[in-house]
Structure 1
Amino acid sequence: MANIAVLGHGVVGSGVLEVLTSHAASIAKRAKEEIHVKYILDLKEFPGLPYSDRFTKDFNVILNDPEVQIVVEVMGGLHPAYDFVKACLENGKSVVTSNKELVAQKGAELLAIAQANNLNFLFEASVGGGIPIIRPISQCLAANDVTEIAGILNGTTNFILTKMIREQMNFEDALKLAQQLGYAERNPSADVEGLDACRKICILASLAFGTHVYPDSVYTEGITKITLQDVDFADVWGGVIKLIGSVKKLENGQVHIMVCPMFVHRGSQLASVDDVFNGIMVRGDATGDVVFYGKGAGKLPTASAVVADVIDCVKHFKARKYLFWEDAKPNYVADFGSMETSAFVRVSAKDSDTALNTAADVFGKITPLLAKRPVQGEAGFTVENLTEKELSDKLAALEARGVKVEGRIRISDY
């Protein structure tokens, strides 16, 4: 029998208990032994549950029990999750987590502690929820040199953008609907400002390329400034707007990494990923593009991924799974200003002709887009093959000549 403890009995934690309870026999068969939840840590009371007698409010009870071999951390946030996970690894207990913030901020350190103690630190659920992605990158695609990863990594923002595209709902109304349906938190900033997607692309980049990327080194832009006019221009251009997290390995060993809204062409597999679904494209030298698709969050999909990691831990008590990356290196993340980009720009002036003529003068070459529902004085155009710095400089030059930049959205080549 393998004894485990679960830290947290929220949405994911209760889902983990539900999966372990309802699928106990099949899980034991796959793990080759019974998995027993000995403790559940939570400050709240949960009477009337089949496992109510296993709750504790004292983490040290779990830490100091030698029978507990695996600890499942589903509390979320950095503290006290980081302190608890670190203590468990230092005290001989493998850890499974769904906590993307923890892995993105502390992954290199915790993996090093796990390696030093011949333990496992597994986190399949931290990126794709129920979508398998960590295991495929580390195992199934191990024969490839992964060169690029890009994806729709946040279901909340994808739901909002889908409503804007399909139903012409403005951002504020689509966000309100997402909150009513339980897809967005009361404070949605982690989703709509791109922070959640940033943490996930950091984890994927760290895993794929072997060096930790911290979220504060990633250019991150959310969807709060996207308007229905932008959606209209994207349609005219031939695509849709998606919030994309992307990382690319450069020939010099650095990486370009960013999170931002992008025009995605209708022919792309990512363009058809709608509602709360996620899609992650992994580009390998042998496989080409491989896309992973599914619900990126939710109680039972996420719990399923957590329990799969628990089974993996049980099967590898004496044979540590190789999952590791080094800590960050100086200048590993290339300067954002050097990144080459193509972009859509929406501008306004006293009239659209003035806006476009001035833009053509500043950029040299632009491709105007004709909106289906024109707004007086506004115009939209695309530009190609500029560095981010060149683009910013030219947009500043436009402003200096009296043309207001209303919006800027990168153009994807995925």
Structure 2
Amino acid sequence: MKLAVVGGGSTYTPELIDGFARLRDTLPLTELVLVDPAAERLAVVGGLARRIFARQGHPGHITTTSDLDAGVDGADAVLLQLRVGGQAARAQDESWPLECGCVGQETTGAGGLAKALRTVPVVLDIAERVRRRAPDAWIIDFTNPVGIVTRALLEAGHRAVGLCNVAIHLQRKFAALLDVPPEGVHLDHYGLNHLTWELAVRLGGPDGEDVLPRLLAEHGPRIAEDLRLPAPVLARLGVVPSYYLRYFYAHDEVVDELRTKPSRASEVAAMEERLLKMYEDPALDEKPELLAKRGGAFYSEAAVALAAALLGGPAGAAAGTGPAPGSVQVVNTYNRGTLPFLPDDAVIEVPARVGPDGARPLPAPAVDPLYAGLIANVTGYEALALEAALHGGRERVFKALLAHPLIGQFTQAEDLTDRLLAHNREHLAWL
């Protein structure tokens, strides 16, 4: 079994490698290829990857290459984890929206649109090359904005599923609070990528007992603290929103904070510099603790489970992680009537049964209008954002910004359009 990781020079990659090594019974890789244009960085990450495999006794062969076509040739699955423009582009996404009084964040609001415009054309080019060199391969997209990128891939006819670590992170957190194994916790996790709510937390499976009211009653303040939302807000909602909802529920407070603190991009850039220095150490043969602060918690477990299910691999029960092929996992895929208030071709983030034929969403519970309205609004924005990413044009960019619920004002949309284009000219071929 061959798997290629595009963006393999990322500082995230050792987290992924650690998961592949620990969960080799779930996903029995024989060949793993790390693909990245940054050859020097790739060599450092690749060296650590091989040492991790050796330490844990994984028999698979790890290679590195800057040649995309060679790297994906004959792959069974290709995982995308790239960042067009690097941390420098992220730093811009987090800064210029603040000048207009809007949240500066790399996946939400105006910064999220900028990232989509840079990313979609690059990902589609990669996917076309995968189709030529590995026509039966599954594409697993971890590249943000996951919902928009996954929709672009699906509309182009690729075998693709989107992946985010928010759901598995919450599953692990709730399991710890309940003192039960993670595989015994099922989330009624519904919405869009980075715009989701846990409508229920069930024990044992999709039809199990809902213990969310108990969780909120016994651990509400702790959960609220993690989300950086007031505990009374969670109590009033009766659900657990993803932490990205803070950008909507406390927008002005967040803008004030972002204007007075170092950007996340600067923190991550400094952390990446430290991580790469660590990775250079030939004695290091495990992922360092610092990597946990980089983000992407439990990313490897989610990626292994998804790839194993798509490729029809064995169950991971022996490794204690679990999902077998055909199991229920939270993924990004076509709506297909799951949420009746959205178009069928919207990409949603929901529990789905995943197997070699792809992802099929489970029947969804009724979604309260408080959440359905915002989901529908952002879905409209995402459709416009994808049009702008595919076809370019200032007017398309402006309409997408005007449609976003964090913007929605004519003068702000005009100003943000000018700033977005000025900061991304080198990445947008149509300019």
Q: TM-score, normalised by structure 2?
A: 0.35
Of Structure 1 and Structure 2, which has the larger fraction of its residues in helix? 2
Of Structure 1 and Structure 2, which has the larger fraction of its residues in strand? 1
Q: TM-score, normalised by structure 1?
A: 0.36
